[in-house]
């Protein structure tokens, strides 16, 4: 039996935090309203962070708070106060990119410090620079290959956290100012406009080199189902899923899939990889590949001629309550569905099961055929018990 690494999931709000933990994450990383990248994904004020931490700790799990911007001079106001508040709330660690934030945190608090992927740490000497200065863990650059990771692990003196799933920067993280230049939005303070995903024309000496195909730099998302076994063998400390802006369905599906895979691999059970690949596809809203896992990327890791995001509408409802006596579930609509649809149930710790929806009514008891309104609360009859936070979705069609 191999030691299990931590499964670390993202959450943009309290609901996603709870979903991630209930669906199998060992830890969740979140951003506050200040000092965090992905500013549009950061909905946690201090009281939310405290509620999240209490929820996690009751489950024996952890919360990390990102403080990963590169602050300009005026942005440092309130940092010490904020870090001390996080310490009072007992967050388990902060994730920092700036040497200023690391220095302030280590001087004024006893918070555990993780160094962000924004530092683009790619070798053990760079890692050990931070390890000597009290950093407990580093989030490796996504450009590190599996082969490099094997060597790096032997010589690094900090815990290693590796991305396994989600969106990828095309530039080395923390080094890109495309957004700053093109849109005035600061990529290193949470404003990245994803300029790397736009369409361009390519020129040499004034002549266009691309004829009909726009030049693109966009990357497919990272998906590492086939590489989890190797990562367990290497002994990486934490496996990280990216996606604080992603939906609860995405988080639930991705976390649950990797949770089950890690557990089976750690228990030396023969793993049905195609089953996991199919399961992870149900959350996919952008084509995915293996990033730098196998070495330098090639054409198969890039996106061309396609809309970058292809939103899925398969997630149709969240279960709020279940009455075992009446066998009825109170659900909240998230995408349109109707009576007669086949519905798949996603539930932590269980394989998906499907049933045909025979009855549908409003919370007031009015029978209806169709559920078109987002967040509408509805009652359905189910052939088997459901639990709060179970998710209903349309069966996957290849």
Residues 180-209 that bind another protein (CB under 8 A): 180-182, 184-186, 188-191, 195-196, 198-204, 209
User: Applying CB under 8 A, what is the total number of residues that bind another protein?
Assistant: 87
Residue 130 CB, nearest distance to another protein (Å)? 7
How far, CA to CA in Å, does 338 sit from each of 211, 313, 316, 345, 361? 46, 14, 10, 16, 11
Task: Give 48 or 332: the residue with its C-beta nearer to another protein.
Answer: 48
Task: Give 55 or 215: the residue with its C-beta nearer to another protein.
Answer: 215
Distance CA 10, CA 154 (A): 28
Are β-strands 328-333 and 315-323 bridged in parallel, bridged antiparallel, or unpaired? Answer: antiparallel
Are β-strands 337-338 and 370-371 bridged in parallel, bridged antiparallel, or unpaired? Answer: antiparallel
Q: Cβ(99)–Cβ(78) under 8 Å?
A: no
Q: What are phi and psi of 58, to 5 degrees?
A: -65, -30
HSE toward the beta carbon, residue 56, CA cutoff 13 A: 31
Give, as ranges, the residues between 363 and 382 that touch another protein (CB under 8 A): none
Q: What mask, x for binding another protein by CB under 8 A, covers residues 45 to 64?
A: xxx-----------------
Distance CA 16, CA 18 (A): 5
Task: Give 217 or 266: the residue with its C-beta nearer to another protein.
Answer: 217
Q: Cβ(17)–Cβ(9) under 8 Å?
A: no
353 binds another protein (CB under 8 A): no
HSE toward the beta carbon, residue 247, CA cutoff 13 A: 18
Task: Pick the binder of another protein from 126, 287, 320, 339 (CB under 8 A).
Answer: 126
Task: Give 199 or 381: the residue with its C-beta nearer to another protein.
Answer: 199
Q: Cβ(10)–Cβ(65) under 8 Å?
A: no
Task: Give 57 or 72: the residue with its C-beta nearer to another protein.
Answer: 72
Task: Give 198 or 355: the residue with its C-beta nearer to another protein.
Answer: 198
Q: Cβ(195)–Cβ(246) under 8 Å?
A: no
Give, as ranges, the residues between 54 and 113 that touch another protein (CB under 8 A): 69-76, 78, 82, 85, 97-100, 102-104
120 binds another protein (CB under 8 A): yes
Which among 8-16, 44-52, 224-232, 334-342 is the span making contact with another protein, rule CB under 8 A? 44-52
174 binds another protein (CB under 8 A): yes
Give, as ranges, the residues between 268 and 307 that touch another protein (CB under 8 A): 292, 296-299, 301-302, 304
């Amino acid at each position: 039996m191999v030691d299990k690494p931590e499964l670390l999931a993202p959450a943009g709000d309290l609901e996603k935090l709870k979903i991630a933990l209930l669906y199998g994450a060992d830890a969740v990383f979140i951003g506050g309203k200040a000092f965090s990248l992905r500013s549009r994904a950061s909905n946690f004020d201090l009281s939310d962070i405290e509620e999240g931490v209490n929820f996690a700790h009751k489950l024996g799990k952890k919360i990390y708070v990102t403080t990963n911007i590169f602050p300009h001079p005026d942005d440092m106001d309130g940092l010490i106060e904020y870090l001390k508040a996080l310490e009072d709330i007992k967050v388990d660690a902060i994730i920092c990119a700036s040497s200023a934030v690391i220095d302030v945190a280590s001087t004024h608090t006893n918070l555990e410090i993780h160094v962000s992927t924004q530092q683009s740490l790619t070798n053990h000497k760079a890692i050990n620079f931070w390890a000597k200065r009290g950093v407990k863990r580093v989030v490796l650059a996504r450009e590190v290959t599996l082969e490099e990771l094997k060597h790096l692990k032997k010589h690094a003196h900090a815990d290693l956290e590796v991305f396994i799933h989600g969106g990828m920067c095309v530039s080395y993280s923390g080094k890109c100012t495309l957004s700053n230049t093109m849109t005035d939005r600061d990529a290193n303070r949470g404003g990245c406009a994803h300029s790397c995903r736009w369409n361009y024309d390519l020129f040499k000496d004034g002549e266009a080199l691309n004829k009909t195909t726009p030049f693109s730099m966009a990357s497919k998302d990272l998906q590492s189902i086939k590489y989890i076994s190797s990562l367990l063998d290497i002994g990486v400390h934490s496996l990280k899923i990216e996606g604080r802006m992603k939906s609860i369905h995405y988080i639930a599906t991705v976390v649950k899939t990797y949770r089950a895979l890690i557990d089976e691999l750690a228990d030396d059970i023969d793993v049905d990889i195609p089953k996991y690949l199919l399961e992870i596809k149900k959350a996919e809203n952008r084509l995915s590949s293996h990033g730098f896992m196998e070495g330098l990327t090639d054409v198969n890791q890039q996106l061309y001629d396609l809309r970058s995001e292809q939103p899925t509408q398969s997630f149709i409802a969240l279960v709020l309550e279940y009455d075992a006596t009446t066998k009825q579930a109170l659900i909240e609509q998230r995408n349109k569905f109707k009576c007669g649809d086949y519905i798949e149930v996603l539930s932590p710790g269980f394989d998906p099961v499907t049933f045909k929806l025979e009855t549908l009514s409003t919370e007031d008891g009015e029978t209806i055929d169709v559920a078109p309104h987002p967040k509408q609360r509805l009652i359905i009859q189910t052939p088997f018990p459901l639990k709060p936070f179970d998710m209903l979705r349309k069966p996957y069609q290849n």
